[in-house]
Structure 1
Amino acid sequence: MIKLVECPRDAMQGIPDFIDTAIKAAYINQLLEVGFDTIDFGSFVSPKAIPQMRDTAEVLEMLDLHKAQSKLLAIVANVRGAEDALYFQEIDFLGFPLSVSETFQQRNTNASIADALRTVEAIQNLCEVKGKKQVVYLSMGFGNPYGDPYSPELIAEFVEKLSQLQIETVSLSDTIGVATPELITQLFEVQTQAFPQIEFGAHLHSRPESVGEKVWAGIKGGCRRFDGALMGFGGCPMAKDDLVGNMATELMIPALEQEGYDLGLNKSELQEAMKLAKFVFNS
């Protein structure tokens, strides 16, 4: 079974011009009609850090969730954000960005890796009380541009720490688009075999021409959870100025279907979502 996570939050967050709240909600409502496993719809973070996401609570109130099968995921960067997100019963997952790069952890959440790990533990405790799940994104999971230490062994050390905290879902994140198919397969093979109790996801950034081979590499390594964004919009605004977009969902879908996976998506609603994406992102 393949889980597709659609990430309008990631697609929108770096856009400097504020997208009207009603437009955000209309777009996410259309995505809910498609049948994705999960929608990464917003974030509860400082509006000074990510101004585009300052209306996440208002967007949530405008979502039509009565018939939706998709689960909702919100990104948080600290305990306060987690507490804000957990106020809403509609949210199923809290996503936390934990970096294997000390430089990027400071840049992204203004905290050290040690502090971030303590935050992961605190959020995990809150999630257990509220009956929610935490998804930890290991950012810079395939390398970084800062010269910080990186190796597959380092990734395994981080996953071991998360396993001890009872984290059930870890998404390996190629924050700046440097992952090769060989490295993707290698990392997922090692992690899925060493930690069978953890669901591993792939949050990859890619040029359009490389989407298929990266999906196939992830499948070969044992990954069954993939993040994407329609038309490949987005990228982390905290990473670097030269952003590589998200994996284009409409390119991942045929790549996965060619591998024999039935994704159970409503293709007509997907086409409507594509049309709306062009409007939302002025493409």
Structure 2
Amino acid sequence: MAESIRVAAVQMEPLLGQVDHNLGRIVAGLKAAASGGAKLAVFPECALSGYGFASREEGFAHAVPLEGPETAAVAEAARETGCACIFGFLEKDGDSLYNACALVGPEGVVGNYRKIHLPHLGIDMHVDPGNRPPAVYEIAGLRVGVLICYDGAFPEAPRLLALQGADLIALPTNWPPRSECQAEHMVPTRAMENVVYFMAVNRVGTESGFRFIGASSIADPAGAVLARANDSEETILFADLDPQKSRTKRLVRVPGRHEIDRFADRRPAFYGPLAEPISG
């Protein structure tokens, strides 16, 4: 039997615009996750900066480069603990501003994702759309793909990561009220339909007039929820992942009588309209 890999979802309350404070909380959360045996800790969307900025200028004032002292501090904590990290931040790259995530291991930055689907909410009204497709990275012994919040509402995005061989799809998020259906149903559905582990890591607390609903969770490749947080408290969820379960796409339920493979059974020739923009 393959050795399992423990991951942690760190549900926390970032403070708007307080980068140094939030960085300290991320490092502390990483160390707490590692003390619980985690090899990978995932934090919410915009965990480093907060989310509810009213303008591009406000967001840019609290943005940092991908390769900067903040990711260096997280990498140092990863070296100390042996636990890798994924956290959300506002990324500045020249004159561009992105809602992004950094994947950081003991060796430094492993990967980077910039949110491609932007709702009319918070800083997402003011950032640039992500300019790279979702990708899978090797980190903490897992093949990990990252999406951010609203990205998860588009089934094409998780499927792209699954087709690239993801074992785990991480979704750092900032879900406000009326996102309860996503928290309860989307996570296990995306896991089941792609035969991958799926973890959504939300924040709690109130910011810029919005209350965030927590309810972080981790689901396995069959869609079973392995761990779920409540709606108001900072907490750390743990789950033990067996990568072989996400890499076995052919599901044999009754040998010779009930077998399915959601990848081999696809019919891409009929899916062309999925990639066509809506006219009008």
How high is the TM-score relative to the length of structure 2? 0.48
How high is the TM-score relative to the length of structure 1? 0.48
More helix per residue = 1
> Computing the radius of gyration over CA atoms, which structure comes out larger, 1 or 2?
2
Q: Which has the higher contact order (CA 8 A, sep 6+)?
A: 1
